[in-house]
Amino acid sequence: MTNNSSPEGPIGDSSAPLRRLKAVFRRAHDVVAKGGALNDVIPLLDEALSAAREVKPVGDEEARGELRDLLQDLQLVSAQAGGASTAEPARNALALALVQTQARILRRVTRRACGFPLRDDLPLLTDVLDDLEENVREDRAEEATDQSALEADVAAVRLHLLQSEGERRLRRAKDLLATGRSRSLEGFSAARSLAALRAEIRRESQSHDDEVSALRDELETTKDALDREFLDWLRTDDTAESVSAAVAAAREMAAELEEMRATAALSKSRPHRVTTLNLEKDAARLAAACRSVAKRIVLLDPDDQGRARKAFRRLNRFRRRFQDFESDVILSERLEGLFGPRLVRNWDRLIFWLLVAVLALIVVDHYIDPWLDVEEQEVGGVRGGIPWTIWADTAICVVFLVDFFVRMGLSPRRWRYLRRHFFTELLPSIPFAYVSVALNEAVALNGARLIHFLRLARFLRPLMRLVRALLFMTRTLDRLVEQNAGILNRNILFFSDGRSDEGIPTELKRARELDRAIRRDARRAADALGIVARRTMVRALLAFLEREISHPVVADGELGVFGSRLTAEDIRVEDVIQSMRELDEEQVAEFIGVDTARQLAAALSVLRLPLLRRFTPVRFVLGPMGAPDPLGTAARLGRLAGDLLGALQRLIHWFADFYGTITGAQFLDRIGDQLVKLTSRPAKRLLVLGGVTALLVFFVNLLRLTKFAWIKAINSFLFKFFSLPVLVIGLLAAVPMLIGFWLKRIAGQAAEFYERVAEAQFLALTEILKEEHRREDIHTLMRRVFLPEVRLCRPSISPEEEEALSREVESLEASLGRPRESGRLQGLPEEEWVKCQLMLLFYRDFIDGAYFHRNDTKILNILLGNLTLENVRRDRLSWDKKTLRRLDQLDVSRGKG
């Protein structure tokens, strides 16, 4: 159902701007369908942007209908544009560009129409430009004659976007300074947004443009002024508001430090040196101010004090991590300047595979002749020569040591580098195997005098082998995480705040989904049209973006605080699961690339062994036999990972619900019940069987039948190999059974105590609370149950009859299901009245039980005991026997099932 609530409430009637916007977009698509040029569409786009700025929050159903019609039109034209023929690629490319622009505009229009505050356009438009830049980069290998001009156009539009956004943010920041609002968290957020925008402009502007340089300088000056005002306020103000602002600022700065690291890893490009220095200085100044604020946190309550100290410690921790990141950036620059980028990349790959090789050598060395005595193995090694595994391990360790000391020598913080990498890189790189052999050689030369070294090696060598394996595995995983930090360094939320999604209308969710789907489908359709059509679409999108920048949908006064970061926010696990389950070959090629997909498919080829391939998940991932399909294999692996992640989410939610809906006594009772169920039958059978066999052996000995040799042998065999082991196993099985009985007894005593305490608090009288809401419940039942059923039986019922029926049903509030003297409601057929009466009886039984009481299970008992529903479950529903058996085992009286 569509949520009619909005944060701002309905303001006026916005039907006219929405109708105008719908008409303009329809005219634009008609122009494109008739073969119109780009210049014919741009005036219509300006008119659409003007109509979008006039949209207000919707206040009636007519306006919501217009909004739904707009989204329906968008879905129809996107399907037409994506499924058009390739006969006219230029026209189809222009239609694809128009559809993407329409989706982008409607996404913001829908947010405004639903009454939500508009957000900054910069992240959305920057993301669009990144996609265009990727399209242009892919066309570079196809002999694009105007490739340089197209790349320059994309860069010019990006710089225009940043300049326009910089001017808007400057106006907002100067307004904060003029009105004194800079001495607040809003001023700090504005300063961080200016710093982030200045860094983006520095990265994008390659030429020495005076206008761009002046804008950059003004951004820096205004940012410094905001920082000074905010930090001075933190140092001098003694109110709790300044402490809370310092905590929020510390969290935001820590997030910005960490996000720059993640962004650099994701984009595979290093941030500008000046940008990292400025960010580190800003973080240092804020940390100094937070230290002074930390002395005043006594103004807060204990919980707020703990949160403040945690935020300040987190800021310092992220500052140290950012300094390490900055050192790694300088180290990488020095390595590439000394050896070249290509050699450094190849060397890193060599180090990674050497790590894998040394792990394999450790495993091989562990399993070589495991039954040989350690002393004989070492002496034999000395006499017969050092094993090849030790030579290979030593050679690899020499390579690791050379790599470590070269990096340490080039690092700007050498001792810090040594402390960070001592246990993960230096310590495991020492060739302990060769050192051990050299020590054994000394033992062999000196004889018994050094025999204690050999005894020490007996115990230390397996331990050192294990430690080295763990350290090398840690280093290998660290390399993998470092290479994929852009993907892994995201916050995936399993438990998000329910209020974040509360009140979001269906139209807004649909607009978001349509925008994402249209962008993905448009790129796929443009690839099918060829390189010329792709260039046409890119040019059209650039022209449309220029109009959006010059005529923004979001006015300056509508925006709140600008965001300081341009990348994605926290990711909800539901979105991750949906994206992974919908993964296809095109998305795999876009996310990880064809080369990585080939490497992944080659690694998974080991699963094609006959036994492994019989497993259903393996068979699904590998796909049908035949020509290799790396993209399809990677996509199927992603979909399987999405299903596994969904199962993990359901398991986590089950435990969370389990924790919140069960008491300690019930938990102990269920554990004890399971222990008894699992062990009682085998324990009893084993004890009976062992006891009977022991009695048989006893009677044979009592009757002195063991004088016969064959009977004595059978008797001895039964006692040693059957009776005694069975009795021991039965006694072992009886131990958890007795523990289960003990837990059930304790749980029963606790449950009885809790029940008596609850009854003493008049828990059974909480059914009065149900009685108080009887009239509202009857009205809801009438609107959602009775009337829909009546319409199904009698589609021709008039509104007057519905109103009369509503009054009559609500008048039964006192009797609740007891028929009148006539036996049924006036004007209602007998079969319809029977349905209404049955529902009223259900409700009467519902309100006859107290909340959280043992008698509050009547409805469930009715549903389980109704023979009609039982026949439906067994004959009509496709439930298996296991599900039906679990349903039969429900024990609602004890809360089990």
Alpha-carbon dihedral sign for residues 728, 732, 734, 735: positive
3-state secondary structure 103-163: HHHHHHHHHHHCCCCCCCCHHHHHHHHHHHHHHHHHHHHHCCCCHHHHHHHHHHHHHHHHH
From 641, 661, 681, the end of a domain falls on 661
pLDDT for 829 equals: 64
Whether 27 shows a pLDDT value over 70: the answer reads: yes
Share of the chain above pLDDT 70, in %: 72
pLDDT value at residue 4: 42
pLDDT of 440 over the 70 cut: no
Return the top range by mean pLDDT from 439-453, 470-484, 522-536, 643-657: 643-657
Instruction: Please check whether residue 442 lies inside any domain of the structure.
Output: yes
Same domain, 847 and 794: yes
Cα 813 to Cα 77, 779, 804, 807, distances in angstroms: 52, 10, 15, 10
Mean pLDDT, to the nearest integer, of 792-810? 71
Query: What's the pLDDT band for 237 if we cut at 50, 70, 90?
Result: confident
Co-location of 631 and 677 in the same domain: no
- Residue range 312-329: average pLDDT? 79
Non-local (6+) Cβ contacts of 480 within 8 A are: none
On whether residue 322 sits in a domain, the answer given is no
Residues 640 and 670 in one domain: no
Q: How far apart are CA 403 and CA 399, in angstroms?
A: 6
pLDDT of amino acid 126: 78
Does residue 159 fall inside a structural domain? no
Residues 348 and 428 in one domain: yes
Asked whether residue 733 falls in the same domain as residue 830, the answer is no
Cα–Cα distance between 79 and 145 in angstroms, integer?
32
Best-predicted range by mean pLDDT (75-79, 236-240, 382-386): 75-79
CA 844 to chain centre: 44
**More confident: 657 or 443:** 657
In this prediction, residue 308 has a pLDDT band, given cuts at 50, 70 and 90, of confident
- 882 and 849 belong to one structural domain: no
pLDDT value, residue 11: 41
The answer to whether residues 431 and 442 belong to one domain is yes
Question: Cα–Cα distance between 14 and 21 in angstroms, integer?
Answer: 11
What is the model's pLDDT at position 793? 72
pLDDT at position 567, please? 41
Predicted confidence (pLDDT) at residue 44 exceeds the cutoff of 80: yes
Q: Is 294 part of a structural domain of the chain?
A: no
H helices of 630-663, in order, are: 630-661
Residue 199 falls inside a structural domain: no
pLDDT value of position 484: 56
The answer on pLDDT for 456 being more than 80 is: no
Which residue did the predictor score with more confidence, 121 or 693?
693
Out of 308-312, 539-543, 573-577, the most confident range is 539-543
What number of residues does the chain have? 897
For residue 815, tell me if it sits in a domain.
yes
Kindly tell me the burial class for residue 448, based on how many C-beta atoms sit within 10 Å of its own C-beta (0-12, 13-18, 19 or more): exposed
**Tens digits of per-residue pLDDT, 141-184?**
555 556 677 777 888 888 888 888 888 888 888 888 888 877 88
Q: What is the average pLDDT value for the chain, to the nearest integer? A: 74
Residue pair 369/408 in contact (Cβ under 8 Å)? The answer is: no
Specify whether 585 is located in the same domain as 627: yes
How much is the pLDDT for 192?
84
Listed residue (786, 881, 893, 869) closest to 835, CA to CA:
786
Whole-structure pTM value: 0.58
Domain span including residue 533: 1-144+504-556
- Average pLDDT in the 665-677 region? 81
pLDDT grade, residue 288 (50/70/90)? Answer: confident
Helix (H) or strand (E) holding 571: strand 571-572
Q: How far is CA 832 from CA 331, 338, 483, 781, in A?
A: 81, 88, 68, 15
User: What is the token pair recorded at 397?
Assistant: 């360790």
Instruction: Specify the pLDDT at position 84.
Output: 58
DSSP letter string, 13-35: --HHHHHHHHHHHHHHHHHHHTT
State the pLDDT at residue 372.
Answer: 43
**Structural domains counted in the chain:** 6
pLDDT value at 68 more than 60: yes
Residue 289 above 70 pLDDT? yes
Asked whether residue 254 is domain-assigned, the answer is no
Which of 733, 761, 789 represents a domain boundary (last residue)? Answer: 761
In this predicted model, what pLDDT tens digit does every residue of 594-639 receive, in sequence order? 777 777 777 777 677 777 777 778 888 877 765 567 888 888 888 8
How confident is the model at residue 376, as a pLDDT? 47
* Residue 36 maps to a domain: yes
Domain finish residue from 661, 694, 715: 661
pLDDT at 867: 81
Q: What does the pLDDT read at residue 480?
A: 57
Banded pLDDT at 12 (limits 50, 70, 90): very low
